[in-house]
Structure 1
């Protein structure tokens, strides 16, 4: 871990005061003046900001940097939330917590994430993006987000390349240790969340060789929750039975979540300094993340029996003979990530060599998940207002009567996902001269072998040996503020009933077969070669070269169909359910040239320009050959499926920037970038062009929704990035950044399409911004931070662009206060989401999803020896 300090040197008698920055060591050597000198080390926000700025300035790429001390100044519990403070970075949240990271407004799936130089696998079933919230921020030395690439970096990054560096004992002087104890409180749930973290480093002399040992561990149990109302499906135009016309959704859900998340992280790094310029290392990281979730859900199935509502207006609807389902999801999910990197670095005079062998493994297990559903039919249901939070109502008093709901269905799932990668890289460099200028020629290779598997199993029960109602399992204490919820389901009572009687339950063979034929195996082998030249012209620096990457991709899965007659080549695994194996394979390769130019125009001004080419491979969920969901009911078909034939995104990227570094603590930068992206991926309803027989054979289909990822034609993304940091003598520190982007993407639908062909690039945010006000005086440190993310397109409706799904803008405000005592103790207080900012997604102003999380607070104490 890099330690940032101010060193204030005072001579006796006081003749001068010299302030200097040392970003690479614990302490600084006094100046050789011959006079008695006292060294006082003062750590703080300004020193941390200075360290980040200097590393950014020295880089030969466009990069944003944050060291561990700067991360510790803000109330960020994990890597994802720490990254959101950096210029051009935004985060996608789950239950209010940051999970995935996007750069320059671009989809998180289009980034690359590495730790200690090796790629991170993704434990989620569908995602290629790594949910970095599984990595506690206590384990970090620094975070770097590279926005331009050089040939020695993997080309699989269109948004940005995120490099996570864990702690290293050689960055410290001797033995150090640090302990943190804290407790968090969720205002919405009224729950406490304890956390314990610690780091230890030391250096050992082994016969003239130095061994650095760094160990960090962190454990947190966080209890919190959220309240939600969302639309299952789209808002459509209807003509009601009384002749009125309007827009409504056929199904709306109220949801209440209670969540317990545990994070355990351990990093153990061993660095052996064999000789001057020669080092061997073993870096390890283990992270365990568990998510226990209880979700109470009301599903207003408005079109259960009638195809049209009774009455409809711009803001209300009434639907007769509808159904209200009450469901409890009881789910425990665990994710593990293991990263091992064994390597070495050797400086051999004019030659140098670096090599590393990496193994990474991620898995996600979801054992014994239970979804229990009770239903009441024949109700008059609707809402009296639409918009952001639909005001749902039930005309029948029985909707509040637990005895009126019958036990309808139980789904038990056992799901397992595994992602494993073995990688090797070697980099060789040679000092040479180019036209009398010193330069470095560098070349190397990298091999990556990755396998992702999914074993997904569901058993659906619809007979229970008796007539059971919700009254037998009722929970009348559901605290829900977004409307009237009524009785919920008691987790303990339901689980006791299931455990005692599940052997006698009746299995729905058809739905069980349809939901269980979702297993897959995907292999992705990548081979890369590169050559590059780094030339130093004094004030100017030029890095240019080319990278070649070859990808061998294969996917195996199942094609499952519900059909009234046999399907050739398929096996009947249940009545009218046929399954056959399917596989897909493709190879592709590409050259990626790049040029990065840096010019120190003056001591204060740095100019940069870069041209790079890159790609991003589609997410594993998008490539999955097995359909995620197939539902067929009396002529209505709904499918969610992948598409293994997707082409990878390909991008050509231009960057220019101007950076001004003040003599005192201050920095201003402005940059512009342009990306031309081919083959972007969008999820769309392709029912008008899809072959429906692959899902239902010869069965008649009157209405279909087939959601599948497809390649669009071409997209362009143009943006500007501003960043400003200013420190003042009175202890005030201001940091702000903003990234503005504008995109246009062509779906390639042709002139006969029902909707317009041009859209914004999916998942792209038009504005990402941060504003941080810090104040530090003596032992007191205060920070107020605001993170803003603009609107994003999430889902495309190929029939009517008015019903595209957009995530609304989001602005969250957090506060942190710290007080340091001279004995190494620090007390801190954090407040997160002070303004109770919700999550909201909508279709033309109508609800897609609205979710509230409430503020949370943390009080803790840290003791450190340095």
Structure 2
């Protein structure tokens, strides 16, 4: 009752006849746009507000009479005005910043001059970003999309890569999947944590993304576009009303609203993309697949913003582009023998020098030509409606598609050598007659689309601020082949006697020679008619991945302005609830699906010669090569029906392999999250001190299906599912497989001697009678082998390897606490300090020690026989499975930031952070009685008491800690302090230093077996993947009335690639990503008030990337250090833009 009385009193105060309201809109006179984050204060009252995304502000309950109002914005002089407030009425008071800069040659009237807009674009964009950063209590870094000019393909990563703490991943995840250009950003890493740990949001709500292949949390950048975004925020410390599941940070795209301009405004660009590895600008050339195409490719984008009325507006954008990319990939393998890298077994060359780490020999060279044509489409439509001054409705729909046509054409040379061969750092001449040369052509089209919709409602009733929102986002991604008129892969062999490689340049040969096996005569490897193939298979893969994210949420806040003792201070309390659902699945027949040649059918290599891709070098100086074509192979099959899928078991095991491919593709996971939070934010000391703090709690449910391997698939089971045994006839169970016999297509060729069930003797008769008497079914013919060499039995494999076994679990995570403080030390210096708890979510799909859903062949039941129980210390059986009840990794974070803001909009910032990470995932073996055992039993829907002496191999949360910390520096500044012309020259610098100390070693634990014996196990823990620990960005830009030029770049130092280290006889070889810099160029020139020409280049001085081996002992020579080189050229974009 007391609370209700307080609310009624507050409501009465709001309606007091002695007060009024001041309301208005703030704009930038140099470009006509509304201004967000303008700070407004009323003198003598302590009241302070900040303009919203529409440029609107409102002061309520202002005493009637004249009052002074001060408006402050980054880099501008304050606007001080006097406003007369009438009791009970609304006073409209609009403001405009930078009026003097917008006036034409000192004219008295204000006119929006396009040349002034152009000259001020970078300054205005920088101010937009800086104002958002400064007015946020939490720590974030912001970039306006106008800040860096035109970015080819509108890739989000190309905007945020200059921010401190950000590194980009290029090409495919893991580096092997098709459908990704090596020069295109595909993932964002923040503060050393990978793309799978970086959430990407649109207007604060999640967006889905998926990749064909494994289930993943990573949001790929190829299906996102910034075409309708006004700014991009890198949020490094979340507040309690935000999910805290991005341990490094999260990226938020803020879309353009309809009231950004006061009138109808639209813009567009028409452009062409070109890669400098192609010499013909406007001429069709071979590739990338089955026909000649233009490599200078077109594109356009456009946007419109239309405030239909003062309270209703629409904005829309659309984009379409094609982009050709080319990658040459060289992979030399250096050894001191013919085995794996740098093993023992040295031999000598013709100069009598022994092979060694210091004198290695090239034993394998792969070269791959990967041209690709990518087509993207995207569209966005947004509606903004203010039905009343205190209500706002926003609806936003986005749609994007992505299609690639790509071929990987690979040659694999393996020169075989013996003692006395000619080899050194410039050549290797094979001596023996068992060298090999192989050709692989792979074509797999990647097709994807993403549809996202959002609805948000904001209202203010009786002092309560209400925000309700819902969103739905679905992303689909496929690998296609037959639907697009081709198979996925064709393989051929040259079968030479000798292979010789010459002209090494940093370990890469520029000439190859091959010789016949019997006569040692030259054999032209570039002519396809010299190649052979088995001709028996046609690979035809298919993969479908789909991810759907939906949520609804409500937030309610109330300022405590009815408490009299607060005075000029303010406190707002807020609470909310949010429900998320994330469905991630993959299906299809898999990428290993294949057909075999029909008996009596045939074709030749001449039938599948790629006549459209001739005269093209595979790269790095090798001669032009003739290739086989997966398109021609498909055409031959379509005309003659030469391939088929057998419905019986045969020597190629096609049925079993296709079944394996299908089952391995059947996985899904549905995660639901229910979250609730409470927080308070306050402003004290006339707005100088701001605090936001609170708590967030989440509960997560997981239901998934994954392939399952039954280790005892061929044992007869009782009605309760356990292995049937008989103390006299079958103490170790009864097996139904062929054992040491042989069976084909259900016909026993050789009777087994170790399978009593099928024996024609007294024991076999007794066993069969026993099973019949107990009502237990058994086969009359033994199953053939499900795996291994020889003819495999599909029936057996279907029992052993099964699709879609369900796991189900719920887990409540630890609460997430956070406190963010911001203090304005002076008018120019801001200090921020934050404590927060954030989380790193586990991989969706992995092996038994690391993921939520088990990977293929990582989920199995294996009930032991009596004999096996003895050798397994009394364990009755073993279950291997991922643990769906894993809690996320937890980080305790401290963040500090100090910023100095200059009078003309510049910013100097230094920040420090530290993270202490616990709950990291470790492999774990246990019996009944541990939380991990109970979690697995519950997830599988099993009664743990039935498996008390079973061993469970799974994963659990470690008690170890890993710490990371870092310093980040950023400067943004123009040269306005040297004069008026200096305002047109500006620059930025950012630099990050990250420290990854060695994590704590996991403590060994003792496992007590059912037979009483013990074993000490030292677990392995999944730690943070090492990335470059020094990175930065810098740029210099000039903006004149007509000409604008930007030169900007990024840098990161070298780093070791995780999981690639070799240890050979105590010698350690590390695979290193060398230090790299990437420089971009952007320029535009205004032809008239409405039209401009522009040019953009990405990574203009490099165009290739290496991976190298580094020997800890320093013995490996430079010429043998190269492991992988990818050359992809420079992508240029040129075109014309218009603004109206």
CA contact 1:245–1:312 (8 Å) conserved in 2: no
CA contact 2:271–2:299 (8 Å) conserved in 1: yes
| Displacement of 1:480 | 3.1
Q: Give matches, 1:352-751, under 5 Å.
A: 352-368=465-481, 370-377=488-495, 379-381=497-499, 389-391=507-509, 393=512, 395-396=514-515, 397-398=522-523, 399-408=525-534, 409-432=537-560, 436=566, 437-457=569-589, 458-461=592-595, 463=597, 465-466=601-602, 468-469=604-605, 472-474=608-610, 475-484=613-622, 486-490=625-629, 492-501=631-640, 503-505=642-644, 508=652, 509=654, 510-518=656-664, 519-537=666-684, 538-559=687-708, 574=794, 577=797, 578-581=800-803, 582-588=805-811, 589-622=813-846, 623=851, 624-627=853-856, 648-680=888-920, 714-729=961-976, 730=981, 731-746=984-999, 748=1001
**Equivalent position SS for 2:578:** strand
CA contact 2:332–2:1124 (8 Å) conserved in 1: yes
Structure 1 CA distance, aligned partners of 2:340 and 2:616?
Answer: 28
Query: Does the C-alpha gap of structure 1 residues 737 and 96 become closer, same or farther in structure 2, counting only changes over 3 Å?
Result: same
Structure 1 CA distance, aligned partners of 2:716 and 2:372?
Answer: 44
Q: Paired residue for 1:253?
A: 366
Structure 2 CA distance, aligned partners of 1:40 and 1:244?
Answer: 74
Residue 204, structure 1, aligned to residue 308, structure 2? yes
Query: Does the C-alpha gap of structure 1 residues 748 and 29 become closer, same or farther in structure 2, counting only changes over 3 Å?
Result: closer
CA contact 2:370–2:406 (8 Å) conserved in 1: yes
Q: Paired residue for 1:842?
A: 1108
Of 507-516 and 517-526, more deviation after overlay is shown by 507-516
Q: Which runs of 5+ in 1 are unaligned?
A: 9-17, 631-640, 684-707
CA contact 1:105–1:767 (8 Å) conserved in 2: no
Deviations 1:479-538 (A, max 9, x none): 233253643334543342243345535664243333332110111111111111111112
Q: Paired residue for 2:343?
A: 237
Out of 173, 184, 191, the residue aligned to residue 97 of structure 1 is 184
Deviations 1:20-78 (A, max 9, x none): 4899x9975969x9x94435553321221122112111111111112232243555632
> TM-score, normalising length from structure 2?
0.65
CA contact 1:734–1:772 (8 Å) conserved in 2: yes
| Displacement of 1:158 | 0.8
| Displacement of 1:159 | 1.3
Residue 46, structure 1, aligned to residue 123, structure 2? yes
Query: Does the C-alpha gap of structure 1 residues 500 and 78 become closer, same or farther in structure 2, counting only changes over 3 Å?
Result: same
Between Structure 1 and Structure 2, which shows a larger proportion of strand residues?
Answer: 1
CA contact 2:1003–2:1018 (8 Å) conserved in 1: no
Q: Paired residue for 2:55?
A: none
Deviations 1:383-420 (A, max 9, x none): 67999654385553434442332224432111111101
| Displacement of 1:262 | 1.0
Structure 1 CA distance, aligned partners of 2:327 and 2:795?
Answer: 41
Deviations 1:446-471 (A, max 9, x none): 10111111014242245473363378
Of 605-614 and 114-123, more deviation after overlay is shown by 114-123
Query: Does the C-alpha gap of structure 1 residues 580 and 613 become closer, same or farther in structure 2, counting only changes over 3 Å?
Result: same
Q: Paired residue for 1:58?
A: 135
The size of the alignment, in residue pairs, is 813
Query: Does the C-alpha gap of structure 1 residues 259 and 798 become closer, same or farther in structure 2, counting only changes over 3 Å?
Result: closer
| Displacement of 1:795 | 2.8
Query: Does the C-alpha gap of structure 1 residues 449 and 761 become closer, same or farther in structure 2, counting only changes over 3 Å?
Result: closer
Of 749-758 and 428-437, more deviation after overlay is shown by 749-758
Deviations 1:102-155 (A, max 9, x none): 112321111111112211112214331111232233221211110111111111
Structure 2 CA distance, aligned partners of 1:559 and 1:379?
Answer: 45
| Displacement of 1:184 | 1.5
Structure 2 CA distance, aligned partners of 1:307 and 1:367?
Answer: 45
Query: Does the C-alpha gap of structure 1 residues 528 and 201 become closer, same or farther in structure 2, counting only changes over 3 Å?
Result: same
Structure 2 CA distance, aligned partners of 1:760 and 1:504?
Answer: 48
CA contact 1:231–1:251 (8 Å) conserved in 2: yes
Structure 1 CA distance, aligned partners of 2:1072 and 2:347?
Answer: 31
Structure 1 CA distance, aligned partners of 2:712 and 2:428?
Answer: 36
CA contact 1:270–1:283 (8 Å) conserved in 2: yes
Find the structure with the greater CA-based Rg.
2
Structure 2 CA distance, aligned partners of 1:245 and 1:302?
Answer: 18
CA contact 2:602–2:642 (8 Å) conserved in 1: no
Structure 1 CA distance, aligned partners of 2:887 and 2:427?
Answer: 43
Q: Give matches, 1:212-227, under 5 Å.
A: 212-227=313-328
Structure 2 CA distance, aligned partners of 1:719 and 1:616?
Answer: 18
Query: Does the C-alpha gap of structure 1 residues 460 and 643 become closer, same or farther in structure 2, counting only changes over 3 Å?
Result: farther
CA contact 2:1062–2:1068 (8 Å) conserved in 1: no
Out of 244, 247, 270, the residue aligned to residue 181 of structure 1 is 270
**Equivalent position SS for 1:45:** helix
> TM-score, normalising length from structure 1?
0.85
